[in-house]
Structure 1
Amino acid sequence: MSDSIPDFLRTTRASYDRIAKDYAAAFPGGPPHPLDQALITAFAELTAAHGTAPVADLGSGPGHVTALLHARGVPAFGVDVSPAMVELARRTHPEVRFHVGSMTSLDLPDGTLGGILALYSTIHVPDDQLPRAFAEFCRTLTPGGHVLLAFQTGDEPGRLHLAERFGHEIDLRYYWRTPEQIAAPLTAAGLELVARVRREPTGDELRPRAFVLARRPVETTAGTPAEPAPRT
Protein backbone atom coordinates (compact mmCIF):
# COMPACT_ATOMS: atom_id res chain seq x y z
CA MET A 1 0.00 0.00 0.00
CA SER A 2 1.11 3.58 -0.65
CA ASP A 3 2.66 5.66 2.12
CA SER A 4 0.08 8.36 1.30
CA ILE A 5 -2.77 6.39 2.87
CA PRO A 6 -5.10 8.19 5.33
CA ASP A 7 -4.10 8.31 8.99
CA PHE A 8 -6.84 5.92 10.14
CA LEU A 9 -5.64 3.25 7.69
CA ARG A 10 -2.02 3.79 8.68
CA THR A 11 -2.71 3.36 12.40
CA THR A 12 -5.05 0.40 11.85
CA ARG A 13 -2.47 -1.32 9.64
CA ALA A 14 0.36 -0.75 12.12
CA SER A 15 -1.74 -1.93 15.06
CA TYR A 16 -2.82 -5.18 13.44
CA ASP A 17 0.72 -5.80 12.19
CA ARG A 18 1.83 -5.75 15.85
CA ILE A 19 -0.89 -8.05 17.19
CA ALA A 20 -1.42 -10.37 14.21
CA LYS A 21 0.06 -13.53 15.78
CA ASP A 22 -1.61 -12.99 19.16
CA TYR A 23 -4.93 -12.13 17.53
CA ALA A 24 -4.85 -15.30 15.43
CA ALA A 25 -4.03 -17.38 18.51
CA ALA A 26 -6.89 -15.80 20.47
CA PHE A 27 -9.40 -16.39 17.66
CA PRO A 28 -8.31 -19.69 16.08
CA GLY A 29 -11.47 -20.43 14.11
CA GLY A 30 -14.46 -18.90 12.38
CA PRO A 31 -17.52 -17.39 14.08
CA PRO A 32 -18.54 -19.74 16.92
CA HIS A 33 -22.19 -18.69 17.28
CA PRO A 34 -24.67 -20.83 15.27
CA LEU A 35 -26.61 -17.75 14.12
CA ASP A 36 -23.43 -16.13 12.76
CA GLN A 37 -22.60 -19.36 10.93
CA ALA A 38 -26.12 -19.60 9.51
CA LEU A 39 -25.96 -16.06 8.13
CA ILE A 40 -22.60 -16.73 6.49
CA THR A 41 -24.06 -19.91 4.98
CA ALA A 42 -27.03 -17.96 3.65
CA PHE A 43 -24.66 -15.38 2.19
CA ALA A 44 -22.67 -18.16 0.49
CA GLU A 45 -25.85 -19.55 -1.05
CA LEU A 46 -26.85 -16.11 -2.34
CA THR A 47 -23.48 -15.66 -4.02
CA ALA A 48 -23.87 -19.02 -5.79
CA ALA A 49 -26.37 -17.32 -8.11
CA HIS A 50 -23.42 -15.49 -9.66
CA GLY A 51 -21.54 -18.64 -10.62
CA THR A 52 -17.79 -18.10 -10.76
CA ALA A 53 -17.87 -14.39 -9.88
CA PRO A 54 -15.41 -14.06 -6.95
CA VAL A 55 -16.34 -13.08 -3.42
CA ALA A 56 -14.16 -10.64 -1.47
CA ASP A 57 -13.73 -11.04 2.29
CA LEU A 58 -12.76 -7.50 3.31
CA GLY A 59 -10.85 -7.33 6.57
CA SER A 60 -10.10 -11.04 6.29
CA GLY A 61 -7.63 -11.10 9.20
CA PRO A 62 -6.23 -14.61 9.81
CA GLY A 63 -8.35 -15.83 6.89
CA HIS A 64 -10.54 -18.35 8.69
CA VAL A 65 -13.85 -17.22 7.19
CA THR A 66 -12.32 -16.80 3.73
CA ALA A 67 -11.08 -20.39 3.95
CA LEU A 68 -14.50 -21.53 5.17
CA LEU A 69 -16.17 -20.01 2.12
CA HIS A 70 -13.50 -21.54 -0.13
CA ALA A 71 -14.12 -24.98 1.40
CA ARG A 72 -17.82 -24.61 0.58
CA GLY A 73 -17.04 -24.04 -3.07
CA VAL A 74 -17.30 -20.24 -3.00
CA PRO A 75 -14.56 -18.58 -5.13
CA ALA A 76 -13.49 -16.37 -2.22
CA PHE A 77 -10.35 -14.33 -1.63
CA GLY A 78 -9.27 -12.18 1.31
CA VAL A 79 -8.25 -8.53 1.54
CA ASP A 80 -6.74 -6.98 4.65
CA VAL A 81 -5.04 -3.68 5.42
CA SER A 82 -2.37 -5.44 7.51
CA PRO A 83 0.53 -7.09 5.64
CA ALA A 84 1.29 -9.21 8.73
CA MET A 85 -2.29 -10.53 8.77
CA VAL A 86 -2.13 -11.28 5.05
CA GLU A 87 1.16 -13.17 5.41
CA LEU A 88 -0.23 -15.15 8.34
CA ALA A 89 -3.39 -16.01 6.40
CA ARG A 90 -1.36 -17.14 3.38
CA ARG A 91 0.72 -19.48 5.55
CA THR A 92 -2.32 -20.89 7.36
CA HIS A 93 -4.51 -21.25 4.27
CA PRO A 94 -2.17 -21.68 1.27
CA GLU A 95 -5.05 -22.85 -0.93
CA VAL A 96 -6.74 -19.40 -0.70
CA ARG A 97 -5.68 -16.08 -2.20
CA PHE A 98 -5.04 -13.10 0.11
CA HIS A 99 -3.68 -9.65 -0.64
CA VAL A 100 -3.13 -6.30 1.08
CA GLY A 101 -5.72 -3.63 0.37
CA SER A 102 -8.31 -1.25 1.77
CA MET A 103 -12.09 -1.32 1.42
CA THR A 104 -12.04 2.45 0.81
CA SER A 105 -10.02 1.98 -2.39
CA LEU A 106 -10.42 -1.50 -3.84
CA ASP A 107 -7.99 -2.44 -6.58
CA LEU A 108 -10.73 -4.32 -8.45
CA PRO A 109 -12.61 -3.75 -11.72
CA ASP A 110 -16.19 -2.49 -11.78
CA GLY A 111 -19.00 -5.02 -11.48
CA THR A 112 -16.87 -8.12 -10.98
CA LEU A 113 -17.63 -9.37 -7.46
CA GLY A 114 -20.41 -11.85 -6.79
CA GLY A 115 -20.40 -10.86 -3.13
CA ILE A 116 -18.63 -8.90 -0.39
CA LEU A 117 -18.19 -10.03 3.20
CA ALA A 118 -17.12 -7.47 5.81
CA LEU A 119 -17.16 -9.06 9.26
CA TYR A 120 -16.13 -6.68 12.04
CA SER A 121 -13.95 -4.64 9.69
CA THR A 122 -16.08 -1.51 9.18
CA ILE A 123 -15.75 -0.96 12.96
CA HIS A 124 -12.40 0.76 12.33
CA VAL A 125 -13.69 3.03 9.54
CA PRO A 126 -14.58 6.60 10.65
CA ASP A 127 -18.06 7.91 9.86
CA ASP A 128 -16.83 10.25 7.14
CA GLN A 129 -15.13 7.36 5.32
CA LEU A 130 -18.09 4.95 5.31
CA PRO A 131 -19.72 6.50 2.20
CA ARG A 132 -16.45 6.05 0.31
CA ALA A 133 -16.19 2.39 1.36
CA PHE A 134 -19.81 1.60 0.50
CA ALA A 135 -19.47 3.33 -2.86
CA GLU A 136 -16.59 0.92 -3.54
CA PHE A 137 -18.84 -1.99 -2.56
CA CYS A 138 -21.51 -0.89 -5.03
CA ARG A 139 -18.96 -0.21 -7.78
CA THR A 140 -17.29 -3.61 -7.59
CA LEU A 141 -20.39 -5.79 -7.09
CA THR A 142 -22.18 -7.40 -10.00
CA PRO A 143 -25.85 -6.42 -10.34
CA GLY A 144 -27.67 -8.56 -7.79
CA GLY A 145 -24.46 -9.18 -5.83
CA HIS A 146 -24.82 -9.21 -2.04
CA VAL A 147 -22.82 -7.72 0.81
CA LEU A 148 -22.99 -9.01 4.38
CA LEU A 149 -21.67 -6.80 7.19
CA ALA A 150 -21.26 -7.73 10.86
CA PHE A 151 -20.38 -5.34 13.65
CA GLN A 152 -20.74 -4.73 17.37
CA THR A 153 -23.76 -2.57 18.12
CA GLY A 154 -25.95 -1.23 20.89
CA ASP A 155 -28.92 1.00 21.55
CA GLU A 156 -26.74 4.07 21.06
CA PRO A 157 -23.63 4.71 18.94
CA GLY A 158 -20.28 4.86 20.69
CA ARG A 159 -16.52 4.99 20.25
CA LEU A 160 -13.53 3.33 21.87
CA HIS A 161 -9.79 3.89 21.62
CA LEU A 162 -7.35 1.13 22.58
CA ALA A 163 -3.69 1.93 23.19
CA GLU A 164 -2.74 -1.64 24.24
CA ARG A 165 -3.82 -5.16 23.34
CA PHE A 166 -2.14 -8.53 23.92
CA GLY A 167 0.70 -6.63 25.61
CA HIS A 168 1.47 -4.54 22.50
CA GLU A 169 1.26 -0.78 22.09
CA ILE A 170 -1.37 0.01 19.46
CA ASP A 171 -3.56 2.85 18.22
CA LEU A 172 -6.94 1.35 17.32
CA ARG A 173 -10.23 3.21 17.16
CA TYR A 174 -13.54 1.36 17.23
CA TYR A 175 -16.89 2.78 16.12
CA TRP A 176 -20.07 1.16 17.47
CA ARG A 177 -23.05 1.83 15.21
CA THR A 178 -26.69 0.86 15.05
CA PRO A 179 -27.99 -1.04 12.02
CA GLU A 180 -29.82 2.14 11.00
CA GLN A 181 -26.55 4.09 10.97
CA ILE A 182 -25.06 1.50 8.64
CA ALA A 183 -28.16 1.26 6.46
CA ALA A 184 -28.23 4.98 5.64
CA PRO A 185 -24.84 5.22 3.87
CA LEU A 186 -25.38 1.79 2.27
CA THR A 187 -28.55 2.93 0.54
CA ALA A 188 -27.03 6.33 -0.28
CA ALA A 189 -24.25 4.45 -2.09
CA GLY A 190 -26.83 2.75 -4.30
CA LEU A 191 -27.29 -0.55 -2.46
CA GLU A 192 -30.67 -1.85 -1.32
CA LEU A 193 -31.33 -3.42 2.06
CA VAL A 194 -32.30 -7.09 2.27
CA ALA A 195 -32.19 -7.89 5.99
CA ARG A 196 -31.11 -6.62 9.39
CA VAL A 197 -30.43 -9.00 12.30
CA ARG A 198 -29.40 -8.30 15.89
CA ARG A 199 -28.44 -10.84 18.50
CA GLU A 200 -27.62 -10.30 22.16
CA PRO A 201 -24.10 -10.91 23.51
CA THR A 202 -23.12 -14.39 24.65
CA GLY A 203 -20.09 -15.78 26.45
CA ASP A 204 -17.31 -13.19 26.72
CA GLU A 205 -19.03 -10.75 24.36
CA LEU A 206 -19.78 -7.35 25.89
CA ARG A 207 -21.98 -5.83 23.18
CA PRO A 208 -24.79 -7.07 20.92
CA ARG A 209 -23.92 -8.13 17.37
CA ALA A 210 -25.64 -6.76 14.27
CA PHE A 211 -25.73 -8.07 10.71
CA VAL A 212 -26.85 -6.11 7.67
CA LEU A 213 -27.42 -7.79 4.31
CA ALA A 214 -27.72 -5.62 1.20
CA ARG A 215 -27.34 -6.02 -2.53
CA ARG A 216 -26.63 -4.07 -5.66
CA PRO A 217 -29.96 -3.70 -7.48
CA VAL A 218 -30.65 -5.59 -10.69
CA GLU A 219 -31.79 -3.23 -13.42
CA THR A 220 -34.25 -4.19 -16.14
CA THR A 221 -34.10 -2.74 -19.64
CA ALA A 222 -36.67 -0.22 -18.52
CA GLY A 223 -34.35 0.89 -15.73
CA THR A 224 -36.45 -0.43 -12.82
CA PRO A 225 -35.26 -3.00 -10.28
CA ALA A 226 -36.09 -6.59 -11.05
CA GLU A 227 -35.64 -9.90 -9.27
CA PRO A 228 -32.88 -12.17 -10.59
CA ALA A 229 -34.05 -15.27 -12.38
CA PRO A 230 -34.66 -18.20 -9.99
CA ARG A 231 -32.02 -20.92 -9.91
CA THR A 232 -32.99 -24.33 -11.23
Structure 2
Amino acid sequence: MADEPSPYLTATATAYDAVADLYTDLVRDSLDGLPLDRAIVAAFADLVRADGPRPVVEAGCGPGHMTAHLRDLGLEASGVDLSPAFIEIARRDHPGLRFELGSMGALDVRDGSLGGLLSWYSIIHTPPQELPPYLTEFRRVLAPGGHLLIGFFESEGEPVTEFDHRVTAAYRWPIDEMADLLRKEGFTEVARMLREPLEGERFRRGHLLMRAV
Protein backbone atom coordinates (compact mmCIF):
# COMPACT_ATOMS: atom_id res chain seq x y z
CA MET A 1 0.00 0.00 0.00
CA ALA A 2 1.14 3.58 -0.57
CA ASP A 3 2.66 5.56 2.26
CA GLU A 4 0.02 8.29 1.88
CA PRO A 5 -3.47 7.06 2.80
CA SER A 6 -6.14 7.14 0.11
CA PRO A 7 -8.67 9.96 0.56
CA TYR A 8 -11.45 7.48 1.36
CA LEU A 9 -9.38 6.07 4.25
CA THR A 10 -9.04 9.52 5.80
CA ALA A 11 -12.71 10.23 5.21
CA THR A 12 -13.74 6.90 6.76
CA ALA A 13 -11.59 7.37 9.86
CA THR A 14 -12.84 10.93 10.35
CA ALA A 15 -16.49 9.89 9.92
CA TYR A 16 -16.21 7.09 12.49
CA ASP A 17 -14.29 9.25 14.94
CA ALA A 18 -17.26 11.63 14.92
CA VAL A 19 -19.77 8.91 15.89
CA ALA A 20 -17.52 6.51 17.82
CA ASP A 21 -19.41 6.65 21.14
CA LEU A 22 -22.83 6.28 19.54
CA TYR A 23 -21.64 3.45 17.29
CA THR A 24 -20.11 1.65 20.26
CA ASP A 25 -23.41 1.77 22.13
CA LEU A 26 -25.23 0.37 19.10
CA VAL A 27 -22.93 -2.60 18.48
CA ARG A 28 -21.79 -3.51 21.99
CA ASP A 29 -24.36 -6.32 22.38
CA SER A 30 -25.22 -6.70 18.70
CA LEU A 31 -24.42 -10.42 18.51
CA ASP A 32 -26.95 -11.29 21.21
CA GLY A 33 -29.86 -11.45 18.78
CA LEU A 34 -27.94 -12.89 15.82
CA PRO A 35 -27.66 -16.68 16.24
CA LEU A 36 -26.57 -17.34 12.66
CA ASP A 37 -23.83 -14.72 12.86
CA ARG A 38 -22.63 -16.18 16.15
CA ALA A 39 -22.63 -19.64 14.61
CA ILE A 40 -20.33 -18.81 11.72
CA VAL A 41 -17.96 -16.88 14.01
CA ALA A 42 -17.91 -19.91 16.33
CA ALA A 43 -17.15 -22.20 13.37
CA PHE A 44 -14.28 -19.90 12.38
CA ALA A 45 -12.92 -20.04 15.94
CA ASP A 46 -13.21 -23.84 16.05
CA LEU A 47 -11.25 -24.20 12.81
CA VAL A 48 -8.52 -21.82 13.94
CA ARG A 49 -8.14 -23.59 17.29
CA ALA A 50 -7.99 -26.98 15.58
CA ASP A 51 -4.97 -25.86 13.55
CA GLY A 52 -2.90 -24.97 16.61
CA PRO A 53 -2.01 -21.98 18.77
CA ARG A 54 -1.56 -19.21 16.20
CA PRO A 55 -2.83 -15.66 16.84
CA VAL A 56 -5.81 -14.03 15.15
CA VAL A 57 -6.23 -10.42 14.05
CA GLU A 58 -9.47 -8.54 13.54
CA ALA A 59 -8.82 -6.15 10.66
CA GLY A 60 -11.02 -3.11 11.12
CA CYS A 61 -11.92 -3.87 14.72
CA GLY A 62 -13.95 -0.76 15.52
CA PRO A 63 -14.58 -0.52 19.28
CA GLY A 64 -13.26 -4.04 19.85
CA HIS A 65 -16.44 -5.97 20.67
CA MET A 66 -15.79 -8.66 18.05
CA THR A 67 -12.13 -8.98 19.05
CA ALA A 68 -13.30 -9.56 22.62
CA HIS A 69 -15.79 -12.16 21.36
CA LEU A 70 -12.95 -14.01 19.62
CA ARG A 71 -11.03 -13.96 22.90
CA ASP A 72 -14.05 -15.41 24.66
CA LEU A 73 -14.08 -18.21 22.07
CA GLY A 74 -10.57 -19.18 23.09
CA LEU A 75 -8.48 -17.34 20.51
CA GLU A 76 -5.40 -15.16 21.00
CA ALA A 77 -6.99 -12.12 19.38
CA SER A 78 -5.93 -8.54 18.72
CA GLY A 79 -7.42 -5.71 16.68
CA VAL A 80 -6.39 -3.02 14.19
CA ASP A 81 -8.43 0.01 13.11
CA LEU A 82 -7.96 3.33 11.32
CA SER A 83 -10.04 5.32 13.80
CA PRO A 84 -8.13 6.75 16.78
CA ALA A 85 -11.42 7.15 18.65
CA PHE A 86 -12.28 3.48 18.17
CA ILE A 87 -8.83 2.37 19.33
CA GLU A 88 -9.16 4.51 22.44
CA ILE A 89 -12.58 2.99 23.22
CA ALA A 90 -11.39 -0.56 22.51
CA ARG A 91 -8.42 -0.18 24.85
CA ARG A 92 -10.65 1.30 27.54
CA ASP A 93 -13.39 -1.31 27.29
CA HIS A 94 -11.14 -4.35 26.77
CA PRO A 95 -7.92 -3.63 28.69
CA GLY A 96 -6.67 -7.21 28.46
CA LEU A 97 -6.49 -7.13 24.66
CA ARG A 98 -4.08 -5.44 22.24
CA PHE A 99 -5.44 -2.84 19.82
CA GLU A 100 -3.31 -0.93 17.34
CA LEU A 101 -3.97 2.08 15.13
CA GLY A 102 -3.34 1.17 11.51
CA SER A 103 -4.68 0.15 8.12
CA MET A 104 -5.95 -3.33 7.36
CA GLY A 105 -4.16 -2.93 4.04
CA ALA A 106 -0.74 -2.70 5.73
CA LEU A 107 -0.85 -4.91 8.80
CA ASP A 108 2.14 -4.91 11.11
CA VAL A 109 2.25 -8.70 11.05
CA ARG A 110 4.89 -11.13 9.75
CA ASP A 111 4.16 -13.12 6.60
CA GLY A 112 2.28 -16.32 7.30
CA SER A 113 2.13 -15.82 11.06
CA LEU A 114 -1.63 -15.81 11.71
CA GLY A 115 -3.98 -18.71 12.20
CA GLY A 116 -6.99 -16.55 11.43
CA LEU A 117 -8.17 -13.12 10.31
CA LEU A 118 -11.61 -11.63 10.88
CA SER A 119 -12.92 -8.87 8.63
CA TRP A 120 -16.36 -8.17 10.10
CA TYR A 121 -18.01 -5.61 7.80
CA SER A 122 -14.69 -3.76 7.64
CA ILE A 123 -14.30 -3.89 3.83
CA ILE A 124 -17.68 -2.30 3.15
CA HIS A 125 -16.26 1.22 2.78
CA THR A 126 -13.50 0.17 0.36
CA PRO A 127 -14.13 1.27 -3.23
CA PRO A 128 -14.38 -1.88 -5.38
CA GLN A 129 -11.28 -1.10 -7.45
CA GLU A 130 -9.22 -0.75 -4.27
CA LEU A 131 -10.35 -3.96 -2.57
CA PRO A 132 -7.97 -6.56 -4.15
CA PRO A 133 -4.82 -5.24 -2.40
CA TYR A 134 -6.55 -5.67 0.95
CA LEU A 135 -7.37 -9.28 0.14
CA THR A 136 -3.74 -9.78 -0.92
CA GLU A 137 -2.67 -8.45 2.47
CA PHE A 138 -5.08 -10.81 4.25
CA ARG A 139 -3.50 -13.75 2.41
CA ARG A 140 0.03 -12.51 3.16
CA VAL A 141 -0.38 -12.60 6.92
CA LEU A 142 -2.18 -15.96 7.10
CA ALA A 143 -0.30 -19.22 7.47
CA PRO A 144 -1.08 -21.87 4.84
CA GLY A 145 -4.30 -23.46 6.02
CA GLY A 146 -5.20 -20.40 8.08
CA HIS A 147 -8.77 -19.14 7.96
CA LEU A 148 -10.40 -15.86 6.94
CA LEU A 149 -13.95 -14.91 7.89
CA ILE A 150 -15.30 -11.92 6.03
CA GLY A 151 -18.71 -10.31 6.59
CA PHE A 152 -20.35 -7.75 4.31
CA PHE A 153 -23.64 -6.45 2.98
CA GLU A 154 -24.81 -8.60 0.06
CA SER A 155 -26.16 -7.03 -3.13
CA GLU A 156 -29.15 -9.39 -3.58
CA GLY A 157 -28.67 -10.17 -7.28
CA GLU A 158 -27.35 -6.74 -8.25
CA PRO A 159 -23.74 -5.90 -9.17
CA VAL A 160 -21.52 -4.13 -6.66
CA THR A 161 -23.73 -1.30 -5.42
CA GLU A 162 -22.91 1.86 -3.49
CA PHE A 163 -25.43 2.72 -0.80
CA ASP A 164 -26.15 5.44 1.72
CA HIS A 165 -24.51 4.00 4.80
CA ARG A 166 -25.32 6.08 7.87
CA VAL A 167 -21.67 6.94 8.52
CA THR A 168 -19.94 7.19 5.13
CA ALA A 169 -20.05 5.77 1.60
CA ALA A 170 -20.27 1.97 1.48
CA TYR A 171 -20.76 -0.89 -0.96
CA ARG A 172 -22.81 -4.08 -1.21
CA TRP A 173 -21.24 -7.07 -2.96
CA PRO A 174 -22.61 -10.15 -4.74
CA ILE A 175 -21.44 -13.07 -2.62
CA ASP A 176 -20.26 -15.03 -5.68
CA GLU A 177 -18.15 -12.11 -6.87
CA MET A 178 -16.58 -11.69 -3.45
CA ALA A 179 -15.79 -15.41 -3.34
CA ASP A 180 -14.21 -15.21 -6.80
CA LEU A 181 -11.99 -12.31 -5.73
CA LEU A 182 -10.83 -14.26 -2.71
CA ARG A 183 -10.06 -17.35 -4.79
CA LYS A 184 -7.89 -15.21 -7.07
CA GLU A 185 -5.95 -14.06 -3.99
CA GLY A 186 -5.14 -17.59 -2.84
CA PHE A 187 -8.15 -18.69 -0.81
CA THR A 188 -10.49 -21.63 -1.13
CA GLU A 189 -14.06 -21.54 0.12
CA VAL A 190 -14.95 -23.53 3.22
CA ALA A 191 -18.49 -22.27 3.81
CA ARG A 192 -20.83 -19.37 3.22
CA MET A 193 -23.79 -17.98 5.11
CA LEU A 194 -26.39 -15.69 3.59
CA ARG A 195 -29.19 -14.42 5.76
CA GLU A 196 -32.14 -12.20 5.06
CA PRO A 197 -32.41 -8.84 6.84
CA LEU A 198 -34.01 -8.90 10.25
CA GLU A 199 -36.39 -6.25 11.53
CA GLY A 200 -34.51 -2.97 11.55
CA GLU A 201 -31.93 -4.16 8.99
CA ARG A 202 -31.98 -2.96 5.40
CA PHE A 203 -29.94 -5.52 3.49
CA ARG A 204 -29.11 -9.20 3.19
CA ARG A 205 -25.91 -10.18 5.02
CA GLY A 206 -23.14 -12.19 3.36
CA HIS A 207 -20.43 -14.16 5.17
CA LEU A 208 -17.60 -16.18 3.61
CA LEU A 209 -15.37 -18.56 5.52
CA MET A 210 -12.20 -19.12 3.48
CA ARG A 211 -8.98 -21.09 3.89
CA ALA A 212 -5.56 -19.88 2.75
CA VAL A 213 -3.92 -22.28 0.29
Quote the residue 2:157 is aligned against: 155
- Moved beyond 6 Å, runs of 4+: none
For 1:112, give the aligned amino acid. S
Give the C-alpha shift of residue 187 in structure 1: 1.0
The normalised TM-score by structure 1 is 0.86
- Name the SS of the counterpart of 2:67 in structure 1: helix
For 1:139, give the aligned amino acid. R
Give the C-alpha shift of residue 161 in structure 1: 4.1
Give the C-alpha shift of residue 143 in structure 1: 0.7
Query: C-alpha separation between the residues in 1 aligned to 2:30 and 2:63?
Result: 10
Give the C-alpha shift of residue 82 in structure 1: 0.6
After superposition, residues 8-19 of structure 1 pair within 5 angstroms as 8-19=8-19
After superposition, residues 128-147 of structure 1 pair within 5 angstroms as 128-147=129-148
Q: Tell me if structure 2 keeps the 8 A contact 1:24–1:62.
A: yes
Quote the residue 1:123 is aligned against: 124
For 1:144, give the aligned amino acid. G
Query: C-alpha separation between the residues in 1 aligned to 2:73 and 2:136?
Result: 28
Query: C-alpha separation between the residues in 1 aligned to 2:138 and 2:27?
Result: 27
- CA gap of 1:26–1:114, structure 2 versus 1, over 3 A, is same
Quote the residue 1:223 is aligned against: none
Cα RMSD after superposing both structures: 1.5
Give the C-alpha shift of residue 54 in structure 1: 0.7
In our comparison, the structure showing a higher alpha carbon Rg is: 1
Q: Tell me if structure 1 keeps the 8 A contact 2:147–2:209.
A: yes
Instruction: Give the unaligned 5+ runs of structure 1.
Output: 218-232
For 2:163, give the aligned amino acid. L
Q: Tell me if structure 1 keeps the 8 A contact 2:40–2:193.
A: no
Give the C-alpha shift of residue 72 in structure 1: 2.3
Give the C-alpha shift of residue 51 in structure 1: 2.4
For 2:18, give the aligned amino acid. R
Match of 2:206 among 204, 210, 221: 210
Quote the residue 1:108 is aligned against: 109
The superposition leaves residues 164-186 of structure 1 with CA deviations (integer Å, 9 ceiling, x where unpaired) of x5xxxx6x110000111211221
Query: C-alpha separation between the residues in 1 aligned to 2:143 and 2:4?
Result: 30
- Name the SS of the counterpart of 1:73 in structure 2: coil
- Name the SS of the counterpart of 1:57 in structure 2: strand
After superposition, residues 36-55 of structure 1 pair within 5 angstroms as 36-55=37-56
After superposition, residues 1-232 of structure 1 pair within 5 angstroms as 4-31=4-31, 32-153=33-154, 154-156=156-158, 157-161=160-164, 165=166, 172-217=168-213
Instruction: Give the unaligned 5+ runs of structure 2.
Output: none
The superposition leaves residues 5-60 of structure 1 with CA deviations (integer Å, 9 ceiling, x where unpaired) of 11111111111111101101122224231000011000000110232211011111
The superposition leaves residues 123-148 of structure 1 with CA deviations (integer Å, 9 ceiling, x where unpaired) of 01111111100100111001100000
Query: C-alpha separation between the residues in 1 aligned to 2:130 and 2:180?
Result: 13
Query: C-alpha separation between the residues in 2 aligned to 1:72 and 1:131?
Result: 29
Identity of aligned residues (%): 42
Q: Tell me if structure 1 keeps the 8 A contact 2:59–2:104.
A: yes
Query: C-alpha separation between the residues in 2 aligned to 1:61 and 1:135?
Result: 21
The normalised TM-score by structure 2 is 0.93
